[in-house]
Amino acid sequence: MKKLWIVLIVIVLFLFMTYSWFTGKYNSFITLEESVNEKWAQVENQYQRRLDLIPNLVETVKGYAAHEKETLTGVTEARARLGGQVNIGPDILNNPQAFQKFQQMQGALTSALQRLMVVVEKYPELKADQRFADLQRQLEGTENRIAVERQRFNQVVQSYNSQIRQFPNNIIAGMFGFQPKAYFQSQAGAETAPKVKF
């Protein structure tokens, strides 16, 4: 009878330790996934800030460079394409194709803004406008914030992806549907920093 109790106690302890280990791993995956979602929200926040600045920027430039319609239209159209897709939520992180499309659309907007900045060089009176100078500083600050938030996002995604891919974590992650998240990748030509001049 004493041996039976010892065996039962060992089995119960084993089951309890196994349950505790699984629960701990699962909860750590949830914490990491929530960190990824929080960092993604910060990236979205900065992209939204940039989108909010663009109409004011375009209107200010339009006042001085109205005949640069093609460039202004390009910026406006790139912004409009993104307008409905900025607050797309963390679900995009589980869809590599949608995430890549989102990055391409952000890249197109950045490219349109860079073309706009080249046009601005032709208009010294625009560069001297205080409202335009304020918008320029805000845009530069936002671009820097975007870069910082994307870096932080990639760091958290790396931690999350590493955890769910390591053995035996990958077994638990697979059982509960934890999938690797996509990273931000640099755009083609990103090795040369754009020059934003007003």
pLDDT tens by residue, 145-166: 999 999 999 999 999 999 999 9
Q: Is residue 24 part of a domain?
A: no
Question: Measured between alpha carbons, how far is residue 171 from residues 34, 105, 136, 166 in Å?
Answer: 20, 36, 50, 9
User: What are the pLDDT digits (tens) for 117-152?
Assistant: 887 878 888 777 888 888 888 989 999 999 999 999
Looking at residue 198, its pLDDT comes to 43
Q: Which has more confidence, 74 or 22?
A: 22
Q: CA 55 to CA 85: how far, in whole Å?
A: 17
Quick one: CA torsion of 88, 93, 95, 96, rounded to 10 degrees? 120
* Residue 99 contacts residue 180 (beta carbons within 8 Å): no
Looking at residue 128, its pLDDT comes to 79
Q: Which of 56-70, 166-180, 184-198 has the lowest mean pLDDT?
A: 184-198
Q: Which of 44-53, 75-84, 159-168, 183-192 has the lowest mean pLDDT?
A: 183-192
Q: Is residue 25 part of a domain?
A: no
Q: Is residue 27 part of a domain?
A: no
Question: Measured between alpha carbons, how far is residue 13 from residues 5, 16, 20, 167, 171 in Å?
Answer: 12, 5, 10, 23, 22
Range(s) of the domain holding residue 126: 35-176
Q: Is residue 28 part of a domain?
A: no
Q: How many domains does the chain divide into?
A: 1
User: Could you write out the DSSP letters of every residue in 149-172?
Assistant: HHHHHHHHHHHHHHHHHSTTHHHH
Q: Is residue 16 part of a domain?
A: no
CA 109-111-115 angle, to 5 degrees, is: 115
Residue 89 φ/ψ region, left for φ over 0, alpha for ψ in the -120 to 50 degree band, beta for the rest: left
- Confidence at 58, pLDDT banded by 50, 70, 90: confident
Q: What is the DSSP letter of 187?
A: P
Q: What is the pTM of this model?
A: 0.79
Q: CA 152 to CA 149: how far, in whole Å?
A: 5
Q: Is residue 80 part of a domain?
A: yes
Q: Is residue 187 part of a domain?
A: no
Q: Is residue 57 part of a domain?
A: yes
Q: CA 19 to CA 6: how far, in whole Å?
A: 20
CATH number (domain holding residue 77) = 1.20.1440.20
Average confidence (pLDDT) over 103-111: 88
Cβ-count burial of 138 within 10 angstroms (0-12 exposed, 13-18 middle, 19+ buried)? middle
